[in-house]
Amino acid sequence: MNTRHSLVNAQWWDFTSLDQDLVDRCASLSLEDLQGLNREHCEVRIYNSLDDMFLSQALEYLTCWQQATADNPAGICGPVGPVKQMPIVAKLVNELNIDLRHCHFWGMDEWCVNGQAVSPDHPLSFTGANHRLWYNQIKPELRMPERQLHFPTHDNLASFSQSFADFRCLKMQGGLGHTLHWAFNDPLPRAGEYADAPPTAEQYQALPARFVQLHPISQIQNATGLTGRNLTRVPDEAVTVGPKETFLCDEVSIWYPGHNQNPFGLRLAVLMVAEKIKSSLAPISVLADHPKVTFHIYGPSITSCEGSISA
């Protein structure tokens, strides 16, 4: 295992500690190369329209919910980022008059401050965003009961984790973070038992829903997207769904509309999952052992990773 220091922060592990040959290979991949990485366990779907992409993401909510019955309740786990699919979800449910009484929904993560999850009325709360952007927009008579909404907090992690075993989560959607995370499954600090070597892929796969400190890259990414890069407004800790719960879901569905401008990371994620190159330095790569991972990519966002300066 390559144990060179991170180029970002020597106190953390991350993808900059990967072998340089892998990094160089990844950077040269074209959009056609990514499409060529389709495997039985790894599918790559390309969209040329963001409208089509977000409609497709919203439809995954509905196709999961439509499989739920009284005897076999089921649902989907969804991210806050992307978010443009959420109002579409509510509009489709209302227009098609879909009864969600047997359906479930899982949130992925939530910010924490001083070890406690922020309240839903916090301006950055993911729980609050889910309520505002789709749940509260659905007609009351069509909504699933609040007890069938599962959001992680600092004091319910055991029951939150258990809910993935108690009810069938057909898909776990996610965005792709700059650390190659889904949810807040960031690389770990370079400390304690992992001071000299990162956790193995198998150790990382076993991590459950938990409290986490955010990697500096994740803090910067979220400050860029949420607070105009005011880092003082973005918490540095959170609770998150883990790989353990992810492997209980039938499918993992990763959405990349390009808003976070990370064409290198997207290339690296697809390559490592498709070719089963597993490393906790790029956390999403540990999902290479999942039976079904689908990457949904906005094609025009896959720009060059070659260095250049132009006017």
Of the candidates 265, 276, 271, the one whose C-alpha atom is nearest the C-alpha of residue 221 is 265
3 pLDDT band, cuts 50/70/90, is: low
CA dihedral 112, 80, 302, 272 (to 10 degrees): 60
CA distance 38 to 33: 10
Exposure string of 280-309, with b = 16+ CB inside 10 Å and e = fewer, is: bbbbbbbbbbbeebbbbbbeebbeebeeee
For residue 25, CA distances in Å to 6, 41, 205, 305 come to: 19, 21, 25, 11
Does position 5 have pLDDT exceeding 90, yes or no? no
CA distance 163 to 249: 11
Predicted TM-score (pTM) of this structure? 0.96
Q: What is the CA radius of gyration of the chain?
A: 19
Percentage of the chain with pLDDT > 90? 95
Does position 2 have pLDDT exceeding 70, yes or no? no
Does position 260 have pLDDT exceeding 80, yes or no? no
Residue 192, burial from CB neighbour count under 10 angstroms (0-12, 13-18, 19+): exposed
β-sheet bridge partners, residue 238 = 111, 212
For the record, the structure tokens of 260 come out as 């976070």
CA distance 222 to 215: 11
Per DSSP, the three-state class of 123 is: coil
For 60-99, write each residue's pLDDT tens digit: 999 999 999 999 999 999 999 999 999 999 999 999 999 9
Of the candidates 93, 305, 81, 272, the one whose C-alpha atom is nearest the C-alpha of residue 177 is 81
For the record, the structure tokens of 106 come out as 């899982």
Q: Are strands 109-113 and 116-117 parallel, antiparallel or unpaired?
A: antiparallel
Does position 1 have pLDDT exceeding 70, yes or no? no
Please name the helix (run of DSSP H) or strand (run of DSSP E) that holds residue 210, with its range, or none.
strand 210-213
For 182-197, write each residue's pLDDT tens digit: 999 999 999 999 999 9
Q: What is the mean pLDDT of the chain?
A: 96
For the record, the structure tokens of 298 come out as 């906005």
Contacts of 33 (CB under 8 A, 6+ apart): none
CA distance 179 to 160: 24
DSSP 232-281: GGS-SEEEE--HHHHTTSSEEEEEE-STT--HHHHHHHHHHHHTT---TT
Domains in the chain: ranges and CATH: 15-301 (3.40.50.1360)
Across 117-131, 155-169, 221-235, 266-280, least confident range: 221-235
Per DSSP, the three-state class of 211 is: strand
For 214-241, write each residue's pLDDT tens digit: 999 999 999 999 999 899 999 999 999 9
Sign of CA dihedral 236, 242, 246, 248: negative
Q: Mean pLDDT throughout 145-170? A: 98
